């Protein structure tokens, strides 16, 4: 590996570096998921960001390590998802990865995005998701095989996760009303992957437990690690009672600043062994 420095501009762009793919491969039952970008220089050598020091004016001096050999194209067949042609790399950006679970609910996600005060980039992505357009260079969004990807800031991804969680929570409520245990398990696991706060995890665990999902305890242990087991189980019981409360008595779950924390991602990786572990953004 060779170390070198680059300077980002005020928008996070890293000159002469490109995002050429995503670490890991993804499919149905594994999304929404965060994916770390695979970066390369103009000569095709993979690079990894090691440090970023502020220069002022939202610019950074970025230390990267450059592989001595070019990126092996065979990597995409086993451990990565290619993005071709590549996009300009941005400091701190990640991939939001969606599958059919989210794509088929694109219209609902768009309605929620339009009703919110979130970034216009989120609305643009949701609008693109409702179409069959394979790629948008303006949004840095692309369909690869059976997934849809969005190269975006962590904050934009968090906003997207909150919309997915809202749809998943409604699916849980609807499944309980219909006494549909298969749909309840599916919606509960979906919410566990989209959760942005502990309350959503408790609701997901309560739904999974009621559906007869045998790994519900592992989901709880990995998803919420703060507090005693007695307290956490009591919160699951409280969420279960909320599921059966009169609809007018159900309280909205307030959002928190925490987004898709590693514990939640670990839980999904544990329960779906075929899923590559999500990695932090470069």
Contact status, residue 69 vs residue 95, Cβ threshold 8 Å: no
The confidence band for 250, taking pLDDT boundaries of 50, 70 and 90, is low
Enumerate long-range contacts of 200-203, CB under 8 Å, 24 or more apart: 200/165, 200/169, 200/253, 201/264, 202/232, 202/235, 202/236, 202/238, 202/239, 203/169, 203/172, 203/239, 203/242, 203/243, 203/253
pLDDT of 43-87, one tens digit each?
A: 999 999 999 999 888 899 999 999 988 888 888 878 899 999 999
* Dihedral over alpha carbons 41, 42, 44, 48 (to 10 degrees): 0
As a whole number, the mean pLDDT across the chain is 86
pLDDT of residue 247: 64
Strand ordering across the sheet containing 135-136: 33-35, 94-98, 147-152, 141-144, 135-136
- Other beta carbons less than 10 A from residue 280's beta carbon: 11
* Rounded distance between C-alpha atoms, residue 115 and residue 112, angstroms: 5
In this predicted structure, the answer to whether residue 276 has a pLDDT above a threshold of 50 is no
What is the value of pTM for the model shown?
0.85
8-state DSSP, 51 = E
The residue assigned the tokens 């929404």 is 32
Residues 276, 197: Cα–Cα separation, whole Å: 23
Question: Which residues neighbour 103 within 8 Å (Cβ) at sequence distance 6 or greater?
Answer: 129, 148
Mean pLDDT is lowest, of 44-48, 87-91, 100-104, 277-281, for 277-281
169-208 burial, b at 16+ Cβ within 10 Å, e below that, comes to bebbbebbeeeeeebbbbbbbbbbbbbbbbbbbbbbbbbb
């Amino acid at each position: 590996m060779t170390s070198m420095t680059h300077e980002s501009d005020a928008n996070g762009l890293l000159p002469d570096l490109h995002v050429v793919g995503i670490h890991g491969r993804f499919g149905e039952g594994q999304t929404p998921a965060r994916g770390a970008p695979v970066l390369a220089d103009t000569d095709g050598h993979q690079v990894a960001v090691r440090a970023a020091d502020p220069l002022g004016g939202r610019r950074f001096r970025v230390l990267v390590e450059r592989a001595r050999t070019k990126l092996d194209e065979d990597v995409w067949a086993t451990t990565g998802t290619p993005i071709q042609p590549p996009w300009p790399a941005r400091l701190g950006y990640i991939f939001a990865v969606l599958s059919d679970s989210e794509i088929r609910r694109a219209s609902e996600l768009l309605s929620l995005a339009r009703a919110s005060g979130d970034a216009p980039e989120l609305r643009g992505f949701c609008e693109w998701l409702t179409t069959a357009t394979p790629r948008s260079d303006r949004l840095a969004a692309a369909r690869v095989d059976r997934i849809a990807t969005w190269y975006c800031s962590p904050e934009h991804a968090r906003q997207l996760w909150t919309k997915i969680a809202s749809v998943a929570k409604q699916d849980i409520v609807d499944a309980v009303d219909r006494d549909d245990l298969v749909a309840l398990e599916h919606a509960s696991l979906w919410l566990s992957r989209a959760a942005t706060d502990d309350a959503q995890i408790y609701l997901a665990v309560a739904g999974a437990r009621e559906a007869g999902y045998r790994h519900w305890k592992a989901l709880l242990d990995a998803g919420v690690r703060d507090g005693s087991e007695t307290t956490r189980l009591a919160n699951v019981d409280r969420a279960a009672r909320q599921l059966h409360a009169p609809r007018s008595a159900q309280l909205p779950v307030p959002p928190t600043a925490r987004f898709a924390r590693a514990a939640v991602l670990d839980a999904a990786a544990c329960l779906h062994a075929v899923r590559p572990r999500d990695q932090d953004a470069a």
